[in-house]
Amino acid sequence: MAQTVKRAYKYRFHPTTEQAQELARTFGCVRLVYNKALDERTRAYALEGRRISYVESSAALTQWKRSGDYDFLSEVSSVPLQQALRHLQTAFANFFAKRAKYPAFKSRKRSRLSAEYTRSAFRWREGALTLAKMDSPLAIVWSRPLPRGARPSTVTVSKDTAGRWFVSILVEEKISPLPPVASKVGIDAGITALAALSTGEKIANPRHEQADRRKLAKAQRALARKETGSANRAKAKLRVARVYARITDRRRDHLHKVTTRLVRENQVIAVEDLTVRNLVKNHCLARAISDASWRELRSMLEYKAAWYGRTVVAVDRWFPSSKLCSACGTLQEKMPLHVREWVCACGASHDRDVNAAKNVLAAGLAER
């Protein structure tokens, strides 16, 4: 039975000079409102032990607009500013629920430039999207069509460090589950191979960051030679950002292809419950782990499985998948990382990663 889900479609667009200026002002105001509200909530809790609610922050925003110091906030759409307060409220809710760290201030240089518009702040008419405070629609590059009859509920405009503009359109879409299949698969994430499957297949790791490492190093050396604050340094910084963007885009494209195939072909997918943030503390492997992007791989598997009626099972991270013989169940005392193939006392010969994937699948099926 088809289910209705919220799905975001992301496109590039090319703003006019006036649109770019309006969005730049909006980005700055969003950051200012978020930081000022965070500062006030932090001081209220530290000095008075009092928590400020979203309603109080929204009332304070109205007062800021009426004051002489922040009257420029009225020049941009009010909706992205209210959405910034809602995001801050969510950040505090996650903090108090111990799901996240304390909210951090948005940096002018390092924070993502974005603004979120709800239905009251944009016009959608015959496939043309016009944001509040703008006279003309955005010139969107429609790389793929929206679902037939879809009506956007939220629009998020962003600009990345490479200078590219994006618009993410959130719509409600009916997705039908895929026909059930009998196949099941266990996945052992790795570095040499992106993933070893319980079927014996190994999915290659393209190592996109390593492939562009020389180009990245050259761009970073050029950046280091430029004078701080100069126009040439800004250009060199943009070149570095474009190399990073190329790496990120290629990595994400590969992960989408891999995860879509795994979800289509298997009814149950068992994975290890890895804590990536702890693994990257190993300075010898941090770069390779980040390039493999295990966290994003699992995230894609989970939401695609939820869409298409598949099941993803996470196996405890302490499960000794590499030390266990998948044939007889004997647990080996030691299994150093340099050992890639080994023979069990029962006579079974194992590839380390494939054997681990088989054990992950067996453990995952046992937990269901």
Active site residue 353: yes
Per-residue model confidence as pLDDT tens for the chain (368 residues): 788 899 999 999 999 999 999 999 999 999 999 999 999 999 998 888 888 999 999 999 999 999 888 999 999 999 999 999 999 999 999 999 999 999 999 998 877 899 999 999 999 998 899 999 999 999 999 999 999 888 999 999 999 999 999 999 999 999 999 999 999 999 998 888 899 999 999 998 888 888 899 999 999 999 999 999 999 999 999 999 999 999 999 999 999 999 999 999 999 999 998 877 767 676 777 777 777 788 899 999 999 999 999 999 999 888 888 889 999 988 888 888 888 898 998 989 999 999 999 999 999 998 86
Q: Could you give the count of Cα atoms lying within 13 Å of 42 in the half-sphere of its Cβ? A: 12
Q: β-strand 154-159 against 140-141: which pairing, if any?
A: unpaired
In the DSSP assignment, the letter for residue 225 is H
Are residues 95 and 103 in contact, defined by beta-carbon separation less than 8 angstroms? Answer: yes
Contact call for residues 173 and 147 (beta carbons, < 8 A):
yes
**Total Cβ atoms within 10 A of residue 105:** 13
Residue spans per domain, the chain:
3-175, 184-367
User: Please, what is the angle between helix 213-225 and helix 231-265, to 10°?
Assistant: 160
Task: Confirm if 289 and 276 have CB atoms less than 8 A apart.
Answer: yes
CA 229, CA 265: separation in Å to the nearest integer? 53
Q: 3-13 and 341-343 as β-strands: parallel, antiparallel, unpaired? A: unpaired
| pLDDT for the residue numbered 49 | 86
- What share of residues in the chain are helix, strand, coil (percent, to 5)? 45, 20, 35
Query: How far from 106 is each of 83, 161, 283, CA to CA, in Å?
Result: 15, 15, 27
Whole-number Å distance between alpha carbons of 52 and 99: 20
Catalytic option among 116, 188, 209, 291: 188
Strands 311-315, 165-175: parallel, antiparallel or unpaired by DSSP? unpaired
- Catalytic member of 173, 209, 272, 291: 272
Q: What is the pLDDT of residue 273?
A: 86
CA 162 to chain centre: 17
Structure-block tokens of residue 321? 């998948």
Report the predicted TM-score, pTM, of the whole model to 2 decimal places: 0.88
- Per the annotation, the verdict on 188 as an active-site residue is yes
Amino acid residing at 166: F
Closest by CA to 360, choosing from 296, 327, 316, 328, is 316
Q: Looking at residue 280, what is its pLDDT?
A: 66
Q: How far apart are the first and last CA of the chain?
A: 22
Q: Which of 116, 173, 209, 353 is catalytic?
A: 353
Q: Is 316 marked active-site?
A: no
